[in-house]
Amino acid sequence: MAQTSTRPRSFQEIILRLQTYWAGQGCAIMQPYDMEVGAGTFHPATTLRSLGSRPWAAAYVQPSRRPTDGRYGENPNRLQHYYQYQVLIKPSPPDLQQLYLGSLEAIGIDMALHDIRFVEDDWESPTLGAWGLGWEVWCDGMEVSQFTYFQQVGGHDCKPVSGELTYGIERLAMYVLGIDHVMDMPFNDPDAPIPLTYGDVFRQTEEEYSRFNFDTADTAALLRHFEDAEAECEAILSQPHDDPKTGNRIVMAHPAYDQCIKASHLFNLLDARGVISVTERQAYIGRVRALAKKCADAFVQTGAGGYAVGSDSAA
Amino acid sequence: MPDLLLELFSEEIPARMQAKAAEDLKKLVTDGLVEAGLTYAGAGAFHTPRRLTLTLDGLSAESPTVVEARKGPRADAPQKALDGFLRSTGLTKDQLELRDDKKGQVWFARIEKPGRSAEDILAEVIPAVIRDFPWPKSMRWGAGSLRWVRPLHTILCILTDDSGARTVPFAIDGIEAGDTTRGHRFMAPGAFAVTSFEDYAAKLKRAKVILSAAERAEHIWNDATNMAFASGLEVVADKGLLAEVAGLVEWPVVLMGEIGEEFLDLPPEVLQTSMKEHQKFFSVKNPATGRIERFITVANIETADHGATILAGNGKVLAARLSDAKFFWENDLRTVRDKGLEGMAAGLSEVTFHGKLGSQADRVARIEALAREIAPRVGAKPDLAAEAARVAKADLQSEMVGEFPELQGLMGRYYAQAAGHDDGVPEACEDHYKPLGPGDAVPSAPVSVAVALADKIDTLTGFWAIDEKPTGSKDPYALRRAALGVIRLVLQCQVRLSLINTLSVSYFSLVVGLGRRDHHYYSRSITTASPEDGEDLVTAWREHPLCDILLADKISEAEAEMIEVKLLGLEMEIFDEDVKKHEQAAQALKELRSRAELADHLCGAFLLPMLDEDGNELPESVDFQHMLKSENYFPVWRYGAERVSTDLLAFLHDRLKVHLRDEGIRHDVIDACLAMEGNDDLTLLVKRAEALSDFLKTDDGENLVQGYKRAANILAQAEEKDGVEYRFGADVKFADTDAEKALFAALDQAEAAANPALEAEDFPAAMRAMAGLRAPIDAFFEAVQVNAENDILRRNRLNLLHGITATCEKIADLSRLEG
């Protein structure tokens, strides 16, 4: 099923092979979303496109930020900024598990030598109002991917159901390449004229952001930004569906969703700064979820979300 | 008689759901078939990560024809009635027959329901079972609407008899039933057809699938123990893990690996938990040292390198996990050595236990106060019990427990030892959570018992105070478990404790603790409340955590009056420096006063943090017993304490009934004992109930109760008729007959023997003494007419009967016994 028997030699080769593989399976290879997000799921190509009736198939790398996971570049496998590889196919094809296993072969994991397991792990995103059932995929006891059949997003039932695959690329690559510390991992080919390690590329930023996230980020400003994003999101969504200038029906689900993403990331930053108490935490999550739900409501009112002209709701 | 084979082949089913699903499949399908008139000789259910399989042998090939005679209208009924009957049966008049009935001739219809083939019935029953399958969680996939635990791929459904195998024809959501299945995902992924269950099981085995979970578990256990034995080691048994692992593989391959030397000094429980929880590894122990030195993992595949790659990968993941654990362990040890367990516990004030019940630190303070009260009752030194309570929850703040919550308590013991605690304190850290369930061991060390009881009683009182009681199947705070824990601790350790008193102390401790904590916040609220109408004041009270705790359903007139007086006095004290504010507050309080419930909160909550009955500040260590007994001390609290403790005691009694019923004591026996004074002393209560239960199993006991009941009945009838109660002592000088005299003598004798026995709580002896009454009572009723003509004699006899019932009722309220 896979084209390659050779082992990849670098982090980027693994990404390239995943790109090639999923392109070969018919996915649109998209680029990362140009905003700070905590996980690939937040990319509108997943969150919004998993809604509505229109078929969809996309794959992309998404830089993801988890401020609380910053370790100044010292921890062998914890980073505040890392990459996720994300695949979303709607409706989920019947052979999605086989397709997924094919992707592991493509990056050099020999199915005859390794022990691959699908271990129950139900996924839930309280901030997105989303949940699904699936597994974490184990390779020789290590979690290498999350495999989820979306059931609900933004409070809407997913019909049809999307199949979502998420690979933590650093961890997976370290395993495939046999590297013990993420910073030692070859980023480009070790024989390139200028060989670069992951550390060459990211150690500096891990240090800087760790300090910023934990100690420097201005919490008062963050709180203000959070409120602003929340207000902006609601203001966008309160606009009439028909654009007075063009006369066209333009529901602004995506601009509103950008504000929702912003609020979510600001919440993560506030959390890392330790200024959110346990009780407040739930309240903040609830506020982000409320935004996500409204954005989902708006998206199913768009053409891409399956809205057909002349109908009153999603098709 | 064909055999049925049904296999539902899907993507990986969560291990924890498999066994129940296989049993559900068997039950639902067989129930459906039996209901449709089929029979079968035997049934078997199997499960693997990817399949649920059901096999039935000796299934009837068709359901029998059923003939039913349906009764219609009478022969002389109007034509309309007959027409209606014909319509409903679909018959014509000449197909009916007339039969003789009690009321004359009646039309009968003979309705024949022809039998159906097993295929038809299966094709109807199985899809219905699949559609309504009771998965704990199910999902949709693709564009379909069918729900299953994970996507369902194929259905194999065949009937096999002498003529061969045939597929049962049905389809569900586009999946056609067929006669093929697939083997192991990686080692034998191809499809193959099967013709019978035996053929299926054999072909699966060739395709690297062991169908039986029991066989997989046995295989794993055998290989694991052999492998360990060959190295002079032994596998730590873990039935739950074995069942889980057997549910994660179709073809188990057991591999043993080494644990890095640098991790071997971690507590064995830490190694075991980390390996089990994260990686589903078994622990392998060196029997000589007790240390865990290796791990066993179970792969789902045979590889050319005999698992070397798999083992290396698993070892690497383990090393990363254990590095974390070691890091936590060393950090925690440093913390407790430098700052003690109290230092570790410092952060508990930041951890909310429950929004209305304060932080974990508040809770610890309450448990400490309560443990101190309970200690003398369980033979523990109060100071030690208090020390143990103070540090028992410190490990919740440890990094290790943060990572592995299931190690709470155990890590507490290790860290308590490291911090230099002894005298039963480390053990109490570990054991104060126990018993966790009906099967869990009950601690017996005095310090552990004191803290364990305090822990559970505080939980119960707290949630009762804020009205979060369990209802129906909902018990989110596991209060039933806590109640059973209290019962088992008290009974097993023979603790003599007035629960009403202990629960009241617990309630006081809750109110004082939270009141103190919030005092500053609270007095600030009232002194800064400025709005004219005082609404902010109301909000401040409303938001005060004690609002809920002191919330009473209703308060008496006297209490309302008392509250008003206190309120007036209070506001004077607080606002006397600022007259304007005083006026505003007085206005606000006037409004509040009309709302007695709120005033209740106000008064109780406001008083508690600072004042004792003499208006002095409460000392650090509050004498709760004094507080309870004092007449003019915080009546509002006492009211709350009474409300909570009485209600909670009733709940504990209910749980006790369930517990004792399981021990074989009849519920009416328990009721009879519950009606006695001192029923909040569970040890005494159970002693009495056990004695009575044993006594009732003897002839003497049974007959004495009959005699008692006869006496009580006659007495009750006479009292009702006469409208008086016969409660005077009977006098032997009015005794008319020998039987009567003998009963007087027997009663004296019984009382003389029973009273000291009762005093000594020797219930069996007391009951034996009462048993002596049986023969005289029988003889009395035989020989004497109670309702004599002579009124003096009659009254004396009735009074004698009362003497008997009253004496008998010193054992228990026998009137509550059934039968």
Would an 8 Å CB–CB cutoff place B301 in contact with chain A?
A: yes
Whether residue B313 and residue A139 make contact (CB cut-off 8 A), yes or no, is yes
Whether B98 and B148 map to the same domain: the answer is no
Residue B155, phi then psi, degrees to nearest 5: -125, 125
Q: Which ipTM value was assigned to this complex? A: 0.92
Give residue B534's pLDDT.
44
Across chain B, what does the average pLDDT equal?
Answer: 86
Would an 8 Å CB–CB cutoff place A120 in contact with chain B?
A: yes
Give residue B784's pLDDT.
84
pLDDT (mean) for B770-785 = 87
Whether B280 and B361 map to the same domain: the answer is no
Q: How confident is the model at residue A261 (pLDDT cuts 50, 70, 90)?
A: very high
Give residue B410's Cα distance to chain centre: 23
DSSP label of A214? I
Whether B51 and B192 map to the same domain: the answer is yes
Assigned domain for B319 exists? no
Would an 8 Å CB–CB cutoff place B352 in contact with chain A?
A: yes
List of chain A residues whose C-beta atoms are within 8 Å of the C-beta of residue B141: 91-92, 149, 161, 163
Nearest Cα to A130, choosing from A110, A105, A155, A147?
A155
Would an 8 Å CB–CB cutoff place B113 in contact with chain A?
A: no
Whether B238 and B341 map to the same domain: the answer is no
List of chain A residues whose C-beta atoms are within 8 Å of the C-beta of residue B11: 97, 118
Give residue B35's pLDDT.
94
* Structure token pair of residue B760: 């000594």
pLDDT (mean) for A154-158 = 94
Whether residue B151 and residue A94 make contact (CB cut-off 8 A), yes or no, is yes
Per-residue model confidence as pLDDT tens digits over B132-156: 999 999 999 999 999 999 999 999 9
Q: Report CA-CA distances (Å) from B425 to B46, B379, B408, B418, B650.
A: 49, 14, 15, 12, 32
- Structural domain count of chain B: 6
Name the most confidently modeled range: B17-26, B544-553, B560-569, B745-754: B17-26
Assigned domain for B657 exists? no
- For B359, the closest chain A residue by CA position comes to A278
Helix (H) or strand (E) holding A89: strand A81-90
Q: Report CA-CA distances (Å) from B510 to B268, B373, B465.
A: 38, 14, 9
B579, pLDDT greater than 80:
no
The amino acid sitting at B135 is W
Give residue B531's pLDDT.
41
Would an 8 Å CB–CB cutoff place A281 in contact with chain B?
A: no
Give residue B527's pLDDT.
42
Would an 8 Å CB–CB cutoff place B317 in contact with chain A?
A: yes
Provide the number of CB pairs (under 8 Å) joining chain A to chain B.
Answer: 99
> b/e map of B703-720 (b: 16 or more CB within 10 Å)?
bbbebbbbbbebbeebee
- Show the domains of chain A with their CATH numbers: 11-211 (3.30.930.10), 218-299 (1.20.58.180)
Specify the range with the lowest mean pLDDT, choosing from B28-32, B34-38, B609-613: B609-613
Would an 8 Å CB–CB cutoff place A97 in contact with chain B?
A: yes
Residue with tokens 């009934």: B657
Give residue B600's pLDDT.
44
Triad B784, B788, B793: Cα angle to 5°: 90
Residue that is last in its domain, among B206, B227, B250 = B206
What's the CATH number where B806 sits? Answer: 1.10.730.10
Specify the range with the lowest mean pLDDT, choosing from B175-189, B250-264, B338-352: B338-352
Helix (H) or strand (E) holding B320: helix B308-345
List of chain A residues whose C-beta atoms are within 8 Å of the C-beta of residue B137: 122, 133
Whether B274 and B262 map to the same domain: the answer is yes
pLDDT (mean) for B6-19 = 96
For chain B, what's the residue count? 819
Assigned domain for B74 exists? yes
* Structure token pair of residue B543: 């938001």
Contacts 24+ apart (CB under 8 A), B585-590: B585/B526, B585/B529, B585/B534, B585/B537, B587/B532, B587/B533, B587/B534, B588/B529, B588/B533, B588/B534, B588/B535, B588/B537, B588/B538, B589/B534, B589/B537
pLDDT (mean) for B43-60 = 97
Cβ(B228)–Cβ(B234) below 8 Å: yes
Spatial separation of the C-alpha atoms in residues B7 and B179, rounded to whole Å: 9
B18, pLDDT greater than 70:
yes
pLDDT (mean) for B264-276 = 91
Specify the range with the lowest mean pLDDT, choosing from B48-62, B170-184, B542-556, B773-787: B542-556
Assigned domain for B30 exists? yes
Give residue B578's pLDDT.
54
Would an 8 Å CB–CB cutoff place A309 in contact with chain B?
A: no
Specify the range with the lowest mean pLDDT, choosing from A24-38, B262-276, B355-369: B355-369
Would an 8 Å CB–CB cutoff place B318 in contact with chain A?
A: yes
Give residue B644's pLDDT.
86
Whether residue A118 and residue B303 make contact (CB cut-off 8 A), yes or no, is no
Per-residue model confidence as pLDDT tens digits over B309-367: 999 999 989 998 898 889 889 989 999 999 999 999 988 887 778 777 888 898 999 99
Specify the range with the lowest mean pLDDT, choosing from A270-284, B125-139, B163-177, B410-424: A270-284
- DSSP-assigned letters across all residues of B538-597: HHHHHHSTHHHHS--S---HHHHHHHHHHHHHHHHHHHTT-HHHHHHHHHHHHHHHTSHH
Triad B569, B574, B580: Cα angle to 5°: 105
B432, pLDDT greater than 50:
yes
Specify the range with the lowest mean pLDDT, choosing from A80-89, A151-160, A179-188, B801-810: B801-810
Would an 8 Å CB–CB cutoff place A92 in contact with chain B?
A: yes
Q: Strand B352-354 vs strand B66-74: parallel, antiparallel, or unpaired?
A: unpaired
Spatial separation of the C-alpha atoms in residues B626 and B361, rounded to whole Å: 25
Nearest to A112 among B150, B279, B304 (CB): B304
Give residue B622's Cα distance to chain centre: 34
Across chain A, what does the average pLDDT equal?
Answer: 92
Whether residue A141 and residue B317 make contact (CB cut-off 8 A), yes or no, is yes
Assigned domain for B677 exists? no
Whether B107 and B124 map to the same domain: the answer is no
Residue that is last in its domain, among B206, B221, B244 = B206
Spatial separation of the C-alpha atoms in residues A111 and B304, rounded to whole Å: 11
Whether residue B140 and residue A161 make contact (CB cut-off 8 A), yes or no, is yes
Whether residue A279 and residue B355 make contact (CB cut-off 8 A), yes or no, is yes
Whether residue A161 and residue B317 make contact (CB cut-off 8 A), yes or no, is no
Give residue A276's pLDDT.
76
The HSE-up count of residue B323 (CA atoms within 13 Å, CB side) is 10
- Which among B138, B139, B301 is the top mutation candidate for probing chain A, defined by the most A β-carbons within 10 Å of its own β-carbon? B139
Residue with tokens 């329901």: B113
Whether B29 and B87 map to the same domain: the answer is no
Whether residue A160 and residue B139 make contact (CB cut-off 8 A), yes or no, is no
- For A114, the closest chain B residue by CA position comes to B310
Whether B528 and B580 map to the same domain: the answer is yes
Assigned domain for B607 exists? yes
List of chain B residues whose C-beta atoms are within 8 Å of the C-beta of residue A113: 303-305, 309-310
Whether residue A113 and residue B305 make contact (CB cut-off 8 A), yes or no, is yes
Whether B56 and B183 map to the same domain: the answer is yes
Give residue A283's pLDDT.
83
Assigned domain for B629 exists? yes
Give residue B525's pLDDT.
44
- Which among B135, B137, B140, B176 is the top mutation candidate for probing chain A, defined by the most A β-carbons within 10 Å of its own β-carbon? B140
Q: How confident is the model at residue B726 (pLDDT cuts 50, 70, 90)?
A: confident
Give residue B580's pLDDT.
57
pLDDT (mean) for A309-313 = 55
Per-residue model confidence as pLDDT tens digits over B506-516: 988 887 777 66
Its domain, for residue B102, covers 69-113
pLDDT (mean) for B496-523 = 77
DSSP label of A212? I
Q: How confident is the model at residue B631 (pLDDT cuts 50, 70, 90)?
A: low
Nearest Cα to B447, choosing from B386, B393, B491?
B386
pLDDT (mean) for B705-717 = 89
By CB atoms closer than 10 A (0-12, 13-18, 19+), residue B563 is buried
- For B311, the closest chain A residue by CA position comes to A140
B541, pLDDT greater than 70:
no
Whether residue A97 and residue B11 make contact (CB cut-off 8 A), yes or no, is yes
Whether B202 and B245 map to the same domain: the answer is no
Specify the range with the lowest mean pLDDT, choosing from A14-23, B4-13, B83-92, B414-423: B83-92
pLDDT (mean) for A64-83 = 90
What's the CATH number where B184 sits? Answer: 3.30.70
A75, pLDDT greater than 90:
no
- Which among A105, A120, A137, A277 is the top mutation candidate for probing chain B, defined by the most B β-carbons within 10 Å of its own β-carbon? A120
Whether B107 and B136 map to the same domain: the answer is no
pLDDT (mean) for A279-290 = 86
Spatial separation of the C-alpha atoms in residues A275 and A262, rounded to whole Å: 18
Spatial separation of the C-alpha atoms in residues B96 and B104, rounded to whole Å: 16
A184, pLDDT greater than 90:
yes
Spatial separation of the C-alpha atoms in residues A38 and A80, rounded to whole Å: 10
Residue with tokens 């019932």: B805
Q: Strand A163-168 vs strand B3-10: parallel, antiparallel, or unpaired?
A: unpaired
Would an 8 Å CB–CB cutoff place A50 in contact with chain B?
A: no
Q: How confident is the model at residue B544 (pLDDT cuts 50, 70, 90)?
A: low
Give residue A189's pLDDT.
96
pLDDT (mean) for B788-816 = 88
Would an 8 Å CB–CB cutoff place B312 in contact with chain A?
A: yes
Assigned domain for B322 exists? no
- DSSP-assigned letters across all residues of B101-131: ETTEEEEEEEEEE---BHHHHHHHHHHHHHH
Query: Which residues have CB under 8 Å from B315's CB, separation 6+?
Result: B257, B258
- For B245, the closest chain A residue by CA position comes to A119
Whether B27 and B105 map to the same domain: the answer is no
pLDDT (mean) for B201-229 = 97
Would an 8 Å CB–CB cutoff place A274 in contact with chain B?
A: no
Q: List, in sequence order, every beta strand (DSSP E) within B427-496.
A: none
- Which among B12, B13, B349, B397 is the top mutation candidate for probing chain A, defined by the most A β-carbons within 10 Å of its own β-carbon? B12
Spatial separation of the C-alpha atoms in residues B319 and B569, rounded to whole Å: 68
Whether residue A112 and residue B16 make contact (CB cut-off 8 A), yes or no, is no
Q: How confident is the model at residue B598 (pLDDT cuts 50, 70, 90)?
A: very low
User: How close is the nearest chain B Cα to the Cα of A132, in Å?
Assistant: 8
User: How close is the nearest chain A Cα to the Cα of B189, in Å?
Assistant: 11
Q: List, in sequence order, every beta strand (DSSP E) within A126-209.
A: 130-139, 142-153, 156-157, 163-168
Q: Which residues in chain B (750-789) have CB-CB distances under 8 A to chain A?
A: none
Cβ(B680)–Cβ(B499) below 8 Å: yes
Would an 8 Å CB–CB cutoff place B593 in contact with chain A?
A: no
Whether residue B139 and residue A149 make contact (CB cut-off 8 A), yes or no, is yes
What's the CATH number where B386 sits? Answer: 1.10.3210
Top-confidence residue, A17 or A69:
A17
